[in-house]
Structure 1
Amino acid sequence: MTEIHTPRLLLRRWTDDDLVPLSELHADPEVMRWVDDGSVRDLERTAEDIERWEEEWDDEGFGLFAVELLGSGELAGVTGLSVSEFLPEDALPDVQIGWRFARHFWGQGYASEAAHATLEFALQDRGLDRVVSVPRLGDAASENVLRKLGLAPTGEMNHPVHGVPLVVHSIDLTEFEA
């Protein structure tokens, strides 16, 4: 089982106990406004997300982690790697990094800490050459995390399904400072 420990977090695979806290995170419109079309997700859709993420782990050898606080064991959010199917041709077949955290964990550096550990995992454990991220235009918090990680903007596009504007960022992992 793949686990990553940081000073404050445990990044791990999903368990049945994660469904309710993740569905609560997915029910918050402020959290979800930056994800896909901005809609909240119910318990059933959240269960489908977890199932899809676990399948990606099995198929690709990476996926989205559950992010747990080491001190309390509380589920704080999601971070990890995924194969994007909608990036422009010049960005494919890159792997995408992403995250989302419950609102009461915002502003505490958890997203940066988890994403940094995920980039180290991509480079050192999975041997990836490049990672991209495609936050929605205007997502200043994600832009801040991306700057800290060294991902640079490389272009803009609209999401092919939801039509929202996205900013493509990338990093060559040979330049990543672990």
Structure 2
Amino acid sequence: MNLKLETERLILRPLELSDVDDMFAMDSNPNVHIYLGNNPLKTKEESLGYLKNIQNQYKENGIGRFAMIKKESNEFIGWCGLKFITEEENNHSHFYEIGYRLKEEFWGKGYAYEAAKAWYEYAFNKLKVDTLYASAHIDNKGSRRILEKIGLQFKNEYIWDNRIPCVWYASK
């Protein structure tokens, strides 16, 4: 995968197996998982498995989550990107979803919005998707604000995985 996007402050590049330490640092933090089912990762092997899964998505679907690298310091701050979802979620399947996750110390600085906006534009201008979807925990006001700010519209509430109350957004 040789795609790379840039924003004012970020480089968005494919995730690499060498990102395992940063991914584990992010996903082992319980605060990062408050709205993700409260199940932080316990081992680096779990992070490595996640990275391998993402790399497989690059091969199968030509897209996936990308590392967010802060230009100023070349620091890994999280991931953002598009994912082609084949399984059913909220009565939809085979759709493009936008998502993001950041290390806690980078919350509230506009990075998730900046990256999500770049991916939103990529989805419509380069991939020519008809509709872009996203979901967030019903109580995750920060994430919901980002989704609305990039141009997605609230559609409905639903329960993800039979346990997590979520909201569903779509581009139209």
Shorter-chain TM range is over 0.9
Task: Give, in whole Å, the separation in 1 of the partners of 2:89 and 2:98.
Answer: 13
Q: How does 1:111-150 map to 2 (within 5 A)?
A: 111-150=112-151
- 1:104 alignment partner in structure 2: 105
Contact residue 133 and residue 170 of structure 1 kept, 8 A: yes
Equivalent residue number for residue 152 of structure 2: 151
Counterparts of 1:150 and 1:5, CA distance in 2: 20
Aligned mates of 1:149, 1:122 — CA distance in 2? 12
1-structure distance, mates of 2:81, 2:141: 19
Structure 1 Cα separation of the partners of residues 155 and 81 of structure 2 = 21
Residue 112 of structure 1 contacts residue 149 of structure 1 at CA under 8 Å; is this kept in 2? yes
Matching residue of 1:92: 93
Q: Distance in 2 between matches of 1:17 and 1:93?
A: 30
Which residue of structure 1 lines up, in the alignment, with residue 170 of structure 2? 170
**CA distances 1:75-95 after superposition (whole Å, capped 9, x unpaired):** 000111112323122x33321
Equivalent residues, number: 169
TM-score (norm 1): 0.90
Structure 2 matches for 1:23-102, cutoff 5 A? 23-35=24-36, 37-41=37-41, 42-84=43-85, 85-89=87-91, 91-102=92-103
Identity level (%): 25
Alignment partners' CA distance in 1, 2:135 and 2:151? 14
Q: Name stretches of at least 5 consecutive residues in structure 1 with no aligned partner.
A: 173-178
Contact 1:67 1:78 survives alignment (8 Å) = yes
Where 2:116 maps in the other structure, the secondary structure is: helix
2:48 match: secondary structure: helix
- Aligned-residue CA RMSD (Å): 1.2
CA distance, structure 2, for counterparts of residue 124 and residue 141 of structure 1: 26
| CA-CA distance at 1:147 after TM superposition | 1.5
* 1:86–1:159 Cα contact (<8 Å) kept: no
Question: What secondary structure, in the 3-state scheme, does the structure 2 residue paired with 1:134 have?
Answer: strand
